Structure 1
Amino acid sequence: MQRDLLLIRVVFIILLAAIAAVINPLSNVGFLADAGLDPVGLRVASAVFGALIGGLIVFFETRAREASLKTLIGGSVGLAIGVIGAFLVGMLISSQETATVPGEVKTFLTISLAFLLGYIGLMVGAAKGEFIELSALGGVFGEAEEYRDYKILDTSVIIDGRIADVAETGFLTGTIVIPQFILAELQQVADSPDSSKRQRGRRGLDMLQKLRNNNALDIQIVENDYPKVKEVDLKLIELGQELGGVVVTNDFNLNKVSELRGVSVLNINELANALKPVVLPGEAMRVFILKEGKEYNQGVAYLDDGTMVVVDNARKLIGKTADIAVTSVLQTTAGKMIFGRLWDENQELPDADNIHDTRSENMRKQAGNVRTETVAEKS
């Protein structure tokens, strides 16, 4: 895209220079004729003049592309008001028939007023354009402002991969924006000599392909870049401010910096924490005791989402499934911890539907097979 724009600009400047060389607008300029330039020299000078004009136009175009829509609207309105005001004042000056003011002075004053009022209107309008409410204008501006919904993906959330699963459920709406500098970073990670980084990078590229294969998603790859900004995280924040979008990440530091800069953030880790099952004290759970705890005679189990379950007097059950009663739930900055005790044998267990079975499907099948074999041996 950038190369195409550069090619168009170069062709435009060359075309303008060629037109100027053919028309030769400098052929009647007195000081050039007095300088002794031949017709070929005058055409070359005209071509250079046309190229300079084209360069100025391209420079103005690149600056205008970086400006926001509000700034462009405000500047255009201010310029129009300034030019109209200068035209009206110029008519008043020209209508004054007095011998004390020569006609050349009137013409100069009229042109000067046009430049002065036009410039003032342009600058004031551009400065005040940020206060324009586009939604109040209705029509195209109102709809674009109202329905704009950009989700800008971070490198970490792409490599993590859960964003693809969330997207498949239909909870991720709007336009998914993937910046070109994020793709470049993923490519760099995928080409890393470090095997672990290379694997992470390739996983990220696979996740992107999975997102692109989802026909329900509107995915856009944007070329916006900020050469003066070196860090990718800061580029994401700049892009979020420019598009008015939401940065999707699971990077804690990027989350905090984005919030400080006024950019909205969707954190996949926060979503995962919010979706963790709610467990209340006194409820029954079925867990697989995986290892020994820090305290005496404790056993440790884990839920499918990684939540740690600490069970008292469960050291002897390491490698086995146990029914426990939840005694307390501790919420920490690192996540949630569940404490429990072994279910009292004299206490009746609730129905199977009311027990939180935290084991995976394969583990439940294996446990069922073991129980079946045990019953068969006893019989």
Structure 2
Amino acid sequence: MLDAIIIISFIIAGAGIGFYGVDLLPPNILVQVTNIEGLRSVLGAFGTLIGFVFGLIGQTTYRRLEKQVRDMPVEVLLTRAIGLIVGLLVANLMLAPLFLLPIPREFGFIKPLVAVLGSVIFGFTGVNLADTHGRGFLRLINPNSLDTVLVAEGTFKPAPTKVLDTSCIIDGRIENLLETGFLEGQILVPQFVLQELQLIADAANDQKRARGRRGLDILNSMKETYPDRIQIHSADYEDLATVDAKLVRFAQDINGTLLTNDYNLSKVATVQKVVVLNINDLTQALRPSYLPGDTIEIKIRKEGKEPSQGIGYLEDGTMVVVEAGSSHVGGEVRVVVTSALQTSAGRMIFARTQESVTA
């Protein structure tokens, strides 16, 4: 819509200049014109064409400028705006005496010309000075914040706000993740997530009720430990029925990151261009990798499907299928990894007892 307005404005301006510009032509030229209305039409059409071309150029320039402003850190935008305002004020103060000077009528165009040029020059100088001394300006405002200075320089961007979903709170690992210090930024819990937790805690089913109460306990514990980082947000969306849809909309509105361990919610949010941190993916990535030839000390818990197989588990729950391990059920044995398989249900490691390998 805005693109159309820009182009139409240039077209109207070009057509108007061409149509009414005939009156500005010298009289000796107008005397030689036999059809002034026809000349107006020709110049109006020519002005319309020129206006359309300049409209396209103006629309493209505006979009580029808009993208630069959107991508610009807010601190840089603030310092440049202040620099521009200061530059224009200085220009007006310095050029004020010019308007008091007596200038002949035929040179009357000099005053507005100098005023425009002076405003452009001083405004541009103010912006350049803001870029150069923005660090010092921000340090005067907040001398103890190096982060503010680095953000203003564009060295790094501030940590995005994290939005917690219900499953992530009930899971409980988020509290341990906060304790490690790897999770940065503000953490918001929308009001509708808190309401869902309350509904689960009041459920008739004992298992659901226990999960809901566990989630509320974990949330209260995190708020007590990190009162400045964990905040309850009152946002709600009456037009959306499900909590998942509200979470995605909320993350989009605040340009935040969705923190969850719900696989389906992660996929839906990713499709809608919402950044997602899935705790299950993090856990998967931090699991130790075992290559063929590595040795593991493991306890054989039970027999496998095949008569000679034994089944054991690593500390993270990964199942290890041990060939020739059925005779070691209930005991510790050192095994040699032969291969690993990643399935939708998780990872599975295949190994053989070290005795059978050496034999």
Tell me if TM exceeds 0.5: yes
- Post-superposition shift, 1:296? 2.5
Contact persistence 1:327–1:339 (CA under 8 A): yes
| Structure 2 counterparts to residues 251-262 of structure 1, below 5 A | 251-262=262-273
Pairing partner for 1:323 from 322, 334, 350 = 334
User: Separation in 2 of the partners of 1:317 and 1:245?
Assistant: 51
User: Separation in 2 of the partners of 1:279 and 1:147?
Assistant: 36
Note the aligned Cα RMSD (angstroms). 3.0
User: Structure 2 vs 1, CA of residues 346 and 224 (structure 1 numbering), >3 Å: closer, same or farther?
Assistant: closer
Pairing partner for 1:138 from 56, 60, 78 = 78
- Post-superposition shift, 1:333? 2.5
Please name the residue that 1:304 is paired with.
315
Please name the residue that 2:179 is paired with.
168
Secondary structure (helix, strand or coil) at the match of 1:213 reads helix
Gaps of 5+ in 1: 1-73, 79-123, 349-379
User: Separation in 2 of the partners of 1:246 and 1:346?
Assistant: 49
User: Separation in 1 of the partners of 2:342 and 2:175?
Assistant: 28
Contact persistence 1:211–1:217 (CA under 8 A): no
| Structure 2 counterparts to residues 101-180 of structure 1, below 5 A | 132-133=69-70, 135=73, 137-139=77-79, 146-147=157-158, 149-180=160-191
Pairing partner for 2:306 from 295, 299, 311 = 295
Give aligned pairs, total. 225
User: Separation in 2 of the partners of 1:312 and 1:338?
Assistant: 11
| Structure 2 counterparts to residues 19-58 of structure 1, below 5 A | none
Please name the residue that 1:233 is paired with.
244
Moved over 6 A (4+): 140-145
Q: Deviations over 1:26-83 (max 9, x none)?
A: xxxxxxxxxxxxxxxxxxxxxxxxxxxxxxxxxxxxxxxxxxxxxxxx9xxx9xxxxx
Q: Provide the identity percentage.
A: 45
Q: Which stretch has the larger CA shift, 191-200 or 204-213? A: 204-213
User: Structure 2 vs 1, CA of residues 206 and 344 (structure 1 numbering), >3 Å: closer, same or farther?
Assistant: same
User: Structure 2 vs 1, CA of residues 153 and 130 (structure 1 numbering), >3 Å: closer, same or farther?
Assistant: farther
- Post-superposition shift, 1:213? 2.4
User: Separation in 2 of the partners of 1:159 and 1:215?
Assistant: 18
Letter in 1 for 2:78: G
Please name the residue that 1:198 is paired with.
209
- Post-superposition shift, 1:345? 7.3
Letter in 1 for 2:77: L
User: Structure 2 vs 1, CA of residues 321 and 190 (structure 1 numbering), >3 Å: closer, same or farther?
Assistant: same
Letter in 2 for 1:191: D
Contact persistence 2:260–2:276 (CA under 8 A): yes
Q: Normalized against structure 1, the TM-score is what?
A: 0.55
Please name the residue that 1:264 is paired with.
275
